[in-house]
Amino acid sequence: MQDVIIIGAGPCGLSAAIECNRRGLSTHIIEKHHIVRSIYLYPTYMQFFSTAELLEIGDIPFSSPNDKPFRHEALSYYRKVAAHYELNITSYEEAVSIERHENGLFTVHTKDRRGQELHHEARHVVIATGYFDHPNYIGIPGEDLPKVTHYFREAHPYTGTKVTIIGGSNSAIDAAMELVRVGAEVTIVYRGKTVSNNIKPWVRPVFENMVTKGSVTLHLDSRVTEIREDAIIVTTNEGHESTVDNDFVLALTGFHPDRALLASSGVQLGGDMEKPVFHPDTMESSVPRLYVAGVIASGSNANEVFIETGRIHGRLIAEHIHSAQQLE
Ligand SMILES: Cc1cc2nc3c(=O)[nH]c(=O)nc-3n(C[C@H](O)[C@H](O)[C@H](O)COP(=O)(O)OP(=O)(O)OC[C@H]3O[C@@H](n4cnc5c(N)ncnc54)[C@H](O)[C@@H]3O)c2cc1C
């Protein structure tokens, strides 16, 4: 039996394991894909908005020649941190439910990649399952067409095509700029009156210049209300409709955490998009000895927790478990 089972090997799950191990607790990380799966799914050439220092876990320096590191540097960094601390990680095994027994111990029920059911016992469980598996669907006709994706990887396949991006955040702006460079005809449709205020400051002027020069067509205060095989329908917030020729749609509308695992374990979920109830000083949920770490702890604004802020959850959890053990 492990002292702590951690579900999810994202930066926050890895950090929780390191902090627990440092306090003499045995850990097992169960990961349904592979470590830092979310970062792997970022656009291939993405640059973080955080500095390398603010992405560090386990006090291992993240050195980068760049002011803000790129995706591939972060993949390498987190791989090395996991290897350095010899973390006990099982990849390609999905946690499907958490059972809490009357004696306060847990069984985590899982399924491996062959569909085989497995059962792991632990004294404590940390849920650190993130949000990247669950895009925010818009719910419009045509959203399920094969030409629509919620994940942008790189621009090359879109060369010479007409691409509509739905969204106005960093992901949307980065994708638009990369697409222009490969010769795609880019239209952005965003419901806000301006694109996000959080656009990376070094990116904003370049993007605005592209809009001014007409390389990107920007429909603000508007929504895509239908996606067809060869076009999209754009409707302004005043109700004016127009048809835009289109080959591909990138619906970069964000992600939300999946609460199914939390619900299966009896954690109380609150009003704000079913935010789990937990103590902010310890990250312990309403179920004793069951903790949340990272983005899964956020409410309707999934961006309220990110690596910079979620990486400290592990220390809070480890300190709480350790001090409770001292009292037993
Ligand atoms: C394009 C982009 C750029 C970003 N840039 C930054 C940035 O510059 N700085 C910053 O701080 N943050 C940034 N973020 C946010 C950051 O990626 C997330 O906040 C971070 O990944 C959250 O870490 P986490 O450990 O909570 O979850 P995740 O990294 O999402 O990890 C969760 C892990 O749990 C696994 N998992 C899920 N369900 C199960 C299950 N049932 N069983 C087993 N395993 C499971 C997943 O496969 C995944 O590996 C960015 C996000 C995006 C999308």
| Residue 76 pLDDT grade (very low, low, confident, very high; cuts 50, 70, 90) | very high
User: Within 6 Å (CB) of ligand 1, which residues are found?
Assistant: 7-13, 30-33, 37-38, 42, 46, 48-50, 94-95, 128-133, 171, 261, 294-295, 306-308, 310
- Tokens 């592209």 belong to which residue? 210
Q: What's the CA angle centered on 292, arms 290 and 295, to 5 degrees? A: 165
124 neighbors 4 (Cβ within 8 angstroms): yes
Which atom of ligand 1 is found nearest the CA of 129?
34
Question: Residue 193 corresponds to which amino acid?
Answer: K
| Ligand 1, atom 35, residue with closest C-alpha | 8
Q: Which of 307, 312, 316 to mutate to test the pocket of ligand 1 (most atoms within 8 A of CB)?
A: 307
Which listed CATH number (3.50.50.60, 3.40.309.10, 3.40.50.1970, 3.40.50.620) goes with 148-251?
A: 3.50.50.60
**Quick one: pLDDT at residue 315?**
97
Domain residue ranges of the chain, discontinuous segments joined by +:
2-133+255-327, 148-251
Rg of the chain (C-alpha set): 22
Which atom of ligand 1 is found nearest the CA of 95?
42
| Token output for 139 | 């719910």
**Quick one: pLDDT at residue 153?**
95
- Determine the distance separating the centroid of ligand 1 and the alpha carbon of 101, expressed in angstroms: 30
Residue 101 has pLDDT above 80, yes or no: yes
Question: What is each CA distance from 326 to 17, 26, 56, 122, 245, in whole angstroms?
Answer: 19, 16, 29, 18, 66
Q: Which of 30, 129, 291 to mutate to test the pocket of ligand 1 (most atoms within 8 A of CB)?
A: 129
186 neighbors 252 (Cβ within 8 angstroms): no
211 neighbors 226 (Cβ within 8 angstroms): no
Q: What average pLDDT does the chain have?
A: 94
271 neighbors 277 (Cβ within 8 angstroms): no
**Quick one: pLDDT at residue 243?**
96
| Token output for 282 | 């310890």
**Mean pLDDT, rounded, for 183-208:** 93
Please give the Cα distance from 244 to 300 (Å, whole number): 31
Would you give the distance in Å from CA 3 to the centre of its chain? 27
Other C-beta atoms lying within 10 Å of the C-beta of residue 115: 6
Please give the Cα distance from 47 to 322 (Å, whole number): 37
Window from 105-114, 166-175, 257-266, 298-307 with minimum mean pLDDT = 298-307
- Determine the distance separating the centroid of ligand 1 and the alpha carbon of 209, expressed in angstroms: 32
Q: Which of 56, 136, 301, 306 to mutate to test the pocket of ligand 1 (most atoms within 8 A of CB)?
A: 306
16 neighbors 293 (Cβ within 8 angstroms): yes
Percent of the chain with pLDDT over 70: 99
- Determine the distance separating the centroid of ligand 1 and the alpha carbon of 11, expressed in angstroms: 7
| Token output for 70 | 């790129």
CATH code: domain 2-133+255-327 is 3.50.50.60
Which atom of ligand 1 is found nearest the CA of 309?
11
Tell me: the pLDDT tens digits for 289-314?
A: 999 999 999 877 767 889 999 999 99
- Determine the distance separating the centroid of ligand 1 and the alpha carbon of 15, expressed in angstroms: 12
- Determine the distance separating the centroid of ligand 1 and the alpha carbon of 125, expressed in angstroms: 18
Tell me: the pLDDT tens digits for 260-274?
A: 899 888 999 887 668
